[in-house]
Amino acid sequence: MQLERLLKSHFGFNSFRKGQREIIEDVLEKKDVLSMLPTGAGKSLLYLLPGYIFDGSILIVSPLLSLMEDQVEQLKKAGEKRVVAINSFMDPGERSRVLHQLSKFKFIYVSPEILQSPFLMNKLIHMKISLFVVDEAHCISQWGHEFRPHYLSLSEARRKLGSPPCLALTATATEEVREDIKKQLEMKNVVCHIHSVDRENITFIVEPFFTCDEKMERVKELAKILKGPGIIYTSTRAWAENLSAFLMESNQLKVAAYHGGMETHDRLLIQKQFLNGQLDCICATNAFGMGINKPNIRYVIHFHPPANMEAYVQEIGRAGRDQCPSVAILLYNEGDKEIPSLLIEHEFPDENQLIELIQAASLMDKERFLQWLEGYGISSTAKRFIEFQFEQEKMFNREEKTKEQLAIVFQTILNHIQKRKQYKLNKLDEMFHWIVKKECKRRGILKAFGEHLTYKNKNCCTICEATIQPFLNHKKREPDSFFQWEKELHYIFSRVT
């Protein structure tokens, strides 16, 4: 009963949602816990509530700046002042002020990168950390769709802190990824709470097209007739911008683009506008949305299919967090597999580049090599991959390597590249297989995560003859809304500049 009282007094909720209570009880018993609950299920509560019972602080490793800022803002709004996010975006004065009184904070959000900072670690070591939380834990796994090498040093960080109990949270992890998370975080006697990835309130629609132009026409129509707000995912930054401009012009909608190539300030601003309900829809790459807590997103459209089922489930999961009916619409045409296949190619250096990179690394120390790598013509993902592999192969440990040793390093890394590439291409095949297969879409998603279908809503999916009728906007748009939008923009910019 005490838990219910805390739930009410700190969060204003009357009852726990499915799964929350059991997981919190395990966390309170100081067990290592891995929980997989669908997006919107309420995973933050799993560490927030124990925060009010444990006497030490809760350290939360979170993958995205925007996500951290969002969480901190929500907690502050709810009256919790002892909360802070430490990241590279903070101005130095503020950071030093925070670090000097770090133990005053109950909830400390950090990025995996900042956790490498010896100064921060030194502060943390001298504090009591009651719980080590890893949010979006699938990022740890090299088989996860958001793989981040820095996440691999989390186990070391945890050890330095005296191995506090660990809580790993994710919404989408296949069996393979879950095993990897446990291993990478060195979780002992771990208790797993694995819930279905199914989102019962989401209807799945898949529509095929012959050409991209037809698809543009359809997305224009959908953005006009669907009840928003919504997200439209594209596979490239250029497409996010094109589509946003196209919709703004043709539909007079309040649309903005969001992608990783934009300045951090702009991204945070767009995210805020979207969260505040100032945008009808956002055209974004997969850089947008992780952990975003906007309850009333009514539709998620994929203008391009994502690269794997896990990414798809994460992205559509942003719809209908308020549990109200919402729709996921995927549009595709014949050539759509090309972009993701190319993107997968670009995530790795090719053979000649690998030879060049190994030669360069054998002549430089780590710092110089990384500087040199900055200007080298491969993608940032490929750069991260190389840095990580070279670290693993001890390329920077000052001992000169013989030709034979370098050849072995080359072969080892090349094998890794081939294995990872093949894995990703298989995942892409699985995604496209799901798109075209004449089988209930919900059943197909569950299968990909090793589950069976037990429940179907009435408006299930394209194959089960669902329609988008319930998701149409019946309200007439105000004719001058575009100009109001301009006014709003002007107002917003006049405040930030």
Query: In the complex with ligand ADP, which residue's Cβ is closer, 18 or 487?
Result: 18
H/E stretch holding 130 reads strand 129-134
Query: Minimum CB separation from Mg ion for residue 290, in Å?
Result: 8
- Phi-psi group of 392: left, alpha or beta (phi > 0 → left; psi -120 to 50 → alpha; rest → beta): alpha
Residues 358-387 that bind ligand ADP (CB under 6 A): none
Nearest to 128 by CA among 80, 159, 85, 162: 162
What is the spatial distance between Cα 491 and Cα 493, in angstroms, rounded to a whole number? 6
Residue with tokens 């879950």: 178
Q: What is the dihedral of CA 177, 27, 110, 179, to 10 degrees?
A: -10
CB 474 within 8 A of CB 228: no
Query: Minimum CB separation from ligand ADP for residue 416, in Å?
Result: 32
Query: In the complex with Mg ion, which residue's Cβ is closer, 136 or 180?
Result: 136
Q: What mask of x and - would describe binding to ligand ADP in positions 265 to 304, judged by CB under 6 A? A: ----------------------------x-x---------
Phi, psi (rounded to 5 degrees) for 473: -90, 120
First-last CA distance in the chain: 50
Query: In the complex with ligand ADP, which residue's Cβ is closer, 155 or 314?
Result: 314
Query: Minimum CB separation from Mg ion for residue 16, in Å?
Result: 16
For ligand ADP, which residue of 17, 76, 100, 433 counts as binding (CB under 6 A)?
A: 17
Contact of residue 17 among Mg ion, ligand ADP, none (CB under 5-8 Å per partner type): ligand ADP
Contact of residue 50 among ligand ADP, Mg ion, none (CB under 5-8 Å per partner type): none
Query: In the complex with Mg ion, which residue's Cβ is closer, 267 or 321?
Result: 321
Q: Side-chain half-sphere of 2: how many Cα atoms within 13 Å?
A: 7
Dig out the tokens for 184 from the structure. Answer: 């990478």
Residue with the shortest CB distance to ligand ADP: 42
Residues 38-97 that bind Mg ion (CB under 5 A): 43
Render 148-180 in DSSP notation, one character per residue. -GGGGGHHHHHHHTT---EEEEES---HHHHHH
Q: With contacts defined by CB under 6 A, name the span among 11-19, 90-98, 373-381, 423-431 that binds ligand ADP.
A: 11-19
With a CB cutoff of 8 Å and minimum separation 6, the contacts of 179 are none
Contact of residue 45 among ligand ADP, Mg ion, none (CB under 5-8 Å per partner type): ligand ADP
Query: Minimum CB separation from ligand ADP for residue 402, in Å?
Result: 50
Query: In the complex with ligand ADP, which residue's Cβ is closer, 71 or 235?
Result: 71
Dig out the tokens for 421 from the structure. Answer: 């590439």
Query: Minimum CB separation from ligand ADP for residue 15, in Å?
Result: 6
Query: Minimum CB separation from ligand ADP for residue 201, in Å?
Result: 13
Give, in degrees to the nearest 5, the angle at Cα 110 between 130 and 229: 115
Dig out the tokens for 19 from the structure. Answer: 């799964």
With a CB cutoff of 8 Å and minimum separation 6, the contacts of 95 are 86
Query: In the complex with ligand ADP, which residue's Cβ is closer, 323 or 371?
Result: 323
Query: In the complex with ligand ADP, which residue's Cβ is closer, 74 or 116?
Result: 74
Contact of residue 13 among ligand ADP, Mg ion, none (CB under 5-8 Å per partner type): ligand ADP
For ligand ADP, which residue of 13, 209, 376, 410 counts as binding (CB under 6 A)?
A: 13
Contact of residue 442 among ligand ADP, Mg ion, none (CB under 5-8 Å per partner type): none
Query: Minimum CB separation from ligand ADP for residue 160, in Å?
Result: 27
Residues 98-137 that bind Mg ion (CB under 5 A): none
Render 422-472 in DSSP notation, one character per residue. HHHHHHHHHHHHHHH-SS-HHHHHHHHTT-------TT-BTTTT--SGGGB
Q: What is the dihedral of CA 142, 72, 290, 254, to 10 degrees?
A: -150
Should residue 321 be labelled a site residue for ligand ADP when binding is judged by CB under 6 A? Answer: yes
Query: In the complex with ligand ADP, which residue's Cβ is closer, 170 or 184?
Result: 170
With a CB cutoff of 8 Å and minimum separation 6, the contacts of 327 are 202, 203, 204, 205, 226, 298, 299, 300, 319, 468, 471
Contact of residue 41 among ligand ADP, Mg ion, none (CB under 5-8 Å per partner type): ligand ADP
With a CB cutoff of 8 Å and minimum separation 6, the contacts of 273 are 256, 279, 492
Query: Minimum CB separation from ligand ADP for residue 322, in Å?
Result: 8
CB 62 within 8 A of CB 291: yes
Query: Minimum CB separation from ligand ADP for residue 10, in Å?
Result: 11
Residues 26-45 that bind ligand ADP (CB under 6 A): 37, 39-45
Find the radius of gyration of the CA atoms of the chain.
23
Contact of residue 396 among ligand ADP, Mg ion, none (CB under 5-8 Å per partner type): none
Dig out the tokens for 274 from the structure. Answer: 């979207």
Q: With contacts defined by CB under 5 A, name the span among 262-270, 288-296, 302-310, 377-385 that binds Mg ion.
A: 288-296
Dig out the tokens for 260 from the structure. Answer: 């990783």
Query: Minimum CB separation from Mg ion for residue 38, in Å?
Result: 10
Interface ranges with ligand ADP (CB under 6 A): 13, 16-17, 20, 37, 39-45, 293, 295, 321
Interface ranges with Mg ion (CB under 5 A): 43, 291
